[in-house]
């Protein structure tokens, strides 16, 4: 069983920054890939970023590339999402997830454990 807990969300003005954290339970945190997704009201959950277990590979949605940075500290069982130059359209609930056996890094069905989400609101 894997438990994931997000933190770091909040209200920020456009152009500002936030850093989200995702704390994972269990000694095997370092052995699996992870991802961030977000869901705005009335919209489907969408991929934001993903990172391999060793941090040697990352991927980003086009809408956040160059503004967001995903990272992880396996010694602390924690993954991060540094979000800079935030825009109102980044407003959503952000979820971290553990990647399962699915082959697609950017599809929610490839991830088998999810956190409860943290709200990010960007005002204009």
pLDDT of residue 48: 98
Question: Which of the residue ranges 1-5, 9-13, 22-26 has the most confident prediction, judged by mean pLDDT?
Answer: 9-13
Q: Is 90 exceeded by the pLDDT of residue 45?
A: yes
DSSP helix/strand/coil, 97: strand
8 A C-beta contact, residue 89 and residue 66: no
24, 40, 116, 124 from 89: Cα distances, Å = 28, 9, 21, 10
Residue-averaged pLDDT of the chain: 95
Mean of the pLDDT values across residues 81-85?
98
Q: What is the pLDDT of residue 51?
A: 97
Q: What is the pLDDT of residue 103?
A: 86
Mean pLDDT, to the nearest integer, of 2-19?
97
d(CA 63, CA 69): 12
């Amino acid at each position: 069983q894997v438990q994931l807990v997000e933190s770091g969300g909040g209200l920020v003005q456009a152009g500002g920054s936030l850093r989200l954290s995702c704390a994972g339970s269990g000694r095997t945190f370092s052995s699996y890939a992870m991802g961030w997704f977000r869901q705005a009201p009335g919209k489907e959950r969408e991929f934001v970023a993903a990172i391999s277990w060793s941090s040697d590979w990352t991927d980003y949605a086009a809408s956040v590339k160059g503004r967001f940075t995903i990272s992880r500290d396996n010694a602390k069982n924690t993954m991060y999402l540094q979000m800079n130059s935030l825009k109102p359209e980044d407003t959503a609930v952000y979820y971290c997830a553990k990647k399962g056996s699915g082959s697609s890094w950017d599809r929610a069905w490839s991830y088998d454990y999810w956190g409860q989400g943290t709200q990010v609101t960007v005002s204009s």
